Structure 1
Amino acid sequence: MVTKPPETRIVDEYRIACDGSGPGLGHPRVWLQIPQDRGWVECPYCDARMIHRDFEGKV
């Protein structure tokens, strides 16, 4: 069995919401804060990684 890698999203804001991106397959909406020194954060529900546009290609 092959496991799909977590989704990666490039975002423009440091405070973002994640709800799993799917009707019926999502999760409760959570608000995440991207640390400005690190540039990325992972959702605790779906493991999606949100990378701020300023850090694209550096993470």
Structure 2
Amino acid sequence: MTTQAPEIKIVDTFRVACDGGGAATGHPRVWLQIPHETGFVECPYCDAKYVHKDFEDKV
């Protein structure tokens, strides 16, 4: 059995909300702040990676 890689989402804001994507398979909604230095943040619940569009080629 293999583990799937975390989902990568390209976004256009530096503040994003993550709820895991579904009511039955999701998690509590959390608000995440993308640092201007790195351009990405990872959700502590589902490991989804949010990348700001300005950093898409750098991450």
Separation (CA, whole Å) in 2 of partners of 1:12 and 1:23: 24
Unaligned runs of 5+ in 1: none
Structure-2-length-normalised TM-score = 0.96
Q: Which residue of 1 aligns with 2:11?
A: 11
Separation (CA, whole Å) in 2 of partners of 1:20 and 1:14: 18
**After TM superposition, what 4+ stretches of structure 1 lie above 6 angstroms from structure 2?**
none
Separation (CA, whole Å) in 2 of partners of 1:3 and 1:37: 29
Task: Give % identity.
Answer: 64
- Number of matched pairs: 59
Unaligned runs of 5+ in 2: none
Separation (CA, whole Å) in 1 of partners of 2:19 and 2:57: 25
Q: Which residue of 2 aligns with 1:57?
A: 57
- RMSD across aligned C-alpha pairs, in angstroms? 0.6
